[in-house]
Amino acid sequence: MNTELIIPLLAAAIQSGTPILFATLGEILTEKSGVLNLGVEGIMIVGALAAFVMAKFTGNPILAFALAGVAGMLISATHGVVCLWFRGNQVVSGLALTIFGLGLADYLGTPLIGQTAPGFDKLALPGLSHLPVLGPIFFQQDLLVYVSVLIVPLLWFFLAKTRWGLHLRSVGEYPQAAAAAGINVLLYRWVGVLAGGFLVGWGGAYLSLAYTHLWTSGLSAGRGWIAVALVIFAFWRPGRALLGAYLFGGVMAFQLRLQAVGTHLPSSLLLMLPYALTVIVLVLASWKSRQASAPAALGINIEPRE
Amino acid sequence: MKLRMLVMLCALILALGAGHAGAQDLQVGFVYVSPIGDAGWSYAHDQGRLFIDKMNGVTTAYVEAVPEGPDSERVMLNMARKNYDLIFATSFGYMDPMLKVAKKFPKITFMHCSGFKKAENMGNYFGRMYQARYLSGIVAGAMTKTNILGYAAAFPIPEVIRGINAFTLGAQSVNPDVQVRVVWTKTWYDPATEKEAAKSLLDVGADVIAQHQDSPGPQEAAQEKGVYSIGYNTDMSAFAPKSHLCAPVWNWGPFYAQIVEAVQKGTWESKAYWYGLENGIVDLSPMSDMVPAEVQTKVMTSKEKIKSGSMQVFTGPIRDQAGEEKIAAGKSASDETLLGMNWFVQGVIGTTQ
């Protein structure tokens, strides 16, 4: 492979990594508040459908993008109701949310299959896009890629440097102590679930507004599950989520390009790469850190007035 | 998906219960593997259904998005119990379930698309899509400047491999230096992956993108890059008006009409129906204005030759990628060879695994 192939490969890595990045950031926010939401895949596809429908009927992709977040938030609210109000099992509720979301999007979206909607096109940043090598990789992407990258430092700043972020993290680490300190535990958990769902919805919207402008059932194609795994790979840190998402995007884009260049490796082996990498990453992450960076109260429900 | 199917079934039962279908009407049922959608495999079959729906004494119904396997058996069983006269199942994986149902209902006629099993009351049918792909290959071979054609393909099965080989032979007939690069996506309908596959082909210099996929994702990629594309299933020009040159298309209507008539007259027989351009079951969509007149003439000449039977697409000498002669000079490939094709012709870059 020469530079003529590597530059488009890296640009494609960013594109296919972006939906995963949005979803991973959302899940980090949710898990930091102590709630495990395995419904990422379902939330993503509902976000993708909402974005597609809005873009199709209003012709306004920005409005569609915003609404995809709201749709993601609304569907995550069911997880909030089950786990925060009724203190149901978070794993079961999340899995149910995935199945529900996939089914709902499939049911509502069937009449739209094969149709196109307006979306985001490539937006070259003036000045920067002409830089050699870096320009075509980083600065000739669509608007949503820039948005996703901007969220990374914002989320880091919120979690690490603000009082609200500290409260949210304390709720995820030791809710009883947080409650004793006068923090409204349930409120922060709701914020984690809803704001996280909002970002995951955006991840879905990226698929139907920018990555392609088409709708089909099962558009998310397992990307939500990769995001769940990436949260662990990232040690719940937004910066590492960026790296991880682009790494996975890169592997997906790489295997197709390897075929295009001409290889004797069977395509079935190449297609396994992203998923094999998921397994390897999980093994490495748990071996190295013993999950030390996981929020201590992750997945544990709390009594409202404990 | 299941819920939708249930609703559809209920609607179907209601419709029948309400007595919309006349007693003497021939009732024809269709089972589709995917939603009808706006373009693609099931859409093409549904166009065929609509074609026969207009015939006298025929009522039709369909169930879409039926998963292959036990679910499909239930759907077909249901149709059979409702006294349908003729049932078409349009996906490979419906073969064995259909065979089971066919044995239980000997008075009903069953037709299975793309398979190879038969029973006394069950036939199978398919189209020689490779003939239309050969024609689209001529267009691609004439239009390329880089001499690299990209082919986004679904699964390495004989049907797809045959199409890639025919496309390559067509392109080579006008441009001997052309090479065809193949990327497998292992999906039939996944716009995101299929678009990405087309982009990877564009990155290695392909300037015409062809596809054996049901989504228009590759068309989108070609248009964004400003190069040409060739669709599949139905005319996909609506998705990429600036790059779509032509598309090998399915045209099931006349064939379905022929089967319906045969069943009505009692002349239907169980066999493998494998028709090509001569029957109109496969065709090339109208070519875009971007294709020069002399290329269009060449395509039409070849089309007439294939239709009349004076030319066969797979006529030797044809060598595989390793240079070994697979079809001897002057010989034409038998249907058996075509149906089991698992090797690429010379000029294709990619693996069949």
B191 shares a domain with B267: no
B28, B34, B36, B42 alpha-carbon torsion, rounded to 10°: -60
Query: What's the rounded mean pLDDT across residues A42-49?
Result: 97
User: Which residue in A172, A152, A121, A137 sits closest to A22, CA to CA?
Assistant: A152
Average model confidence (pLDDT) across chain A? 90
Are residues B256 and B234 part of one domain? no
The shortest CB-CB distance from B35 to any of A217, A265, A266 is to A217
pLDDT digit string, tens, across residues A97-127: 999 999 999 889 888 887 888 988 888 888 8
- pLDDT of amino acid A306: 46
- Pairing mode, strands B179-184 and B348-349: parallel
Split chain B (353 residues) into runs of 10 and give each run's mean pLDDT. Answer: 58 50 78 83 94 94 90 95 95 94 96 92 95 97 96 92 96 96 88 91 95 91 94 90 95 95 94 92 95 96 94 92 92 89 94 86
Q: Which residue of B has its CA nearest to A254?
A: B200
Express as a percent the part of chain A with pLDDT over 90.
60
Question: What's the pTM?
Answer: 0.84
| Residue A35 vs residue A135, higher pLDDT | A35
Q: What does each C-alpha distance from B104 to A152, A207, A276, B68 come to in angstroms? A: 62, 46, 45, 19
Residue A237 placed within a domain: no
pLDDT-derived band at A280, boundaries 50, 70, 90 = confident
Q: Evaluate whether residue A207 is within a structural domain.
A: yes
Residue A92 lies in domain:
18-221
Nearest to A221 among B150, B193, B351 (CB): B193
- Contact at 8 Å (CB) between A89 and A39? no
- The answer to whether residue A169 is domain-embedded is yes
Residue A5 has pLDDT above 90, yes or no: no
Query: Which residue among B64, B184, B192 places its CB closest to the CB of A221?
Result: B192
Tens of pLDDT, residues A157-174: 999 999 999 999 999 999
Distance (Å, whole) CA A230 – CA A99: 20
Instruction: Say if the Cβ atoms of B349 and A213 lie within 8 Å.
Output: no
Tell me: do B118 and B143 sit in the same domain: no
- Per-residue pLDDT at B21: 44
Give the highest mean pLDDT range of A14-18, A130-134, A257-261, B333-337: A14-18
Q: Residue A292 has what pLDDT?
A: 64
Contact B191 A212 (CB under 8 A): yes
pLDDT value of residue A140: 86
Q: Identify any residues that bridge with B283 across adjacent strands, giving them in sequence order.
A: B249
Q: What is the reported pLDDT for B347?
A: 94
Pair (B192, B203) in one structural domain: yes
Chain A residues touching residue B201 (CB < 8 angstroms):
260
Q: How many CB pairs under 8 A join A and B?
A: 114
Alpha carbon B127 to chain centroid, angstroms: 7
**Residue B268: CA count within 13 A, CB half-sphere:** 27
Quote the tokens at residue B309: 């039977």
Q: Identify from A207, A208, A216 which residue to disrupt to test chain B contact, counting B C-beta atoms within 10 A and taking the largest count.
A: A216
Residue A26 falls inside a structural domain: yes
Other beta carbons within 10 angstroms of residue B118's beta carbon come to: 17
Q: Report the pLDDT value the prediction gives residue B106, as an integer from 0 to 100.
A: 95
Residue A305 has pLDDT above 60, yes or no: no
What is the C-alpha separation between B18 and B12, in angstroms, rounded?
10
Cβ pair B239:A207 closer than 8 A: no
* Residue B316 confidence (pLDDT): 84
Do B214 and B323 share a structural domain? yes
* Domain co-membership, B60 together with B141: no
**Is residue A108 in some structural domain?**
yes
A239: tokens are: 């910066």
Q: What is the CATH number of the domain that holds B49?
A: 3.40.50.2300
Residue B137 and residue B122 share a domain: no
Range of the domain at B43: 2-127+251-279
pLDDT score recorded for residue B69: 85
Interchain pair A259, B195: CB under 8 A: no
Q: How close is the nearest chain B Cα to the Cα of A259, in Å?
A: 5
Asked if A166 has any chain B CB less than 8 Å from its own CB, the reply is no
Among the partner residues B35, B199, B353, nearest to A12 by beta-carbon distance: B199
Per residue in B197-222, pLDDT (tens digit) is: 999 999 999 999 999 998 888 999 99
Find out whether A248 and A230 touch, Cβ atoms under 8 Å.
yes
- Please indicate, yes or no, if residue A67 is contained in any of the structural domains: yes
Find where tokens 């993290």 sit.
A169
| Cα gap B212→B232, rounded to integer Å | 6
Q: What's the pLDDT tens digit per position in B96-111?
A: 999 999 999 999 999 9
Is there a cis peptide before residue B70, judged by omega within 30 degrees of 0?
no
Nearest CA distance, B181 vs chain A (angstrom): 6
Count how many domains chain A has: 1
Q: Which residue of B has its CA nearest to A122?
A: B224
In a domain, A71, yes or no: yes
- Mean pLDDT calculated for residue range A248-267: 87
Inter-chain CB proximity B349 and A221 less than 8 Å: no
Cis previous bond, B317, omega within 30: yes
Residue A175 is assigned to a structural domain of this protein:
yes
Average pLDDT of span A175-202? 95
Q: What is the ipTM of this complex?
A: 0.82
Residues of A in contact with B209 (CB under 8 A): none
Same domain, B55 and B136: no
Q: B-side interface with A, Cβ within 8 Å?
A: 1, 3-4, 34-40, 43, 64-65, 150, 156, 181-186, 189-193, 195-197, 199-201, 203-204, 206, 215-217, 220, 239, 349-351, 353
For residue A256, give the nearest of B1, B36, B183 by CB distance.
B183
Q: Is A268 on the interface with B (CB under 8 A)?
A: yes
**Chain B residue with minimal CA distance to A218?**
B190
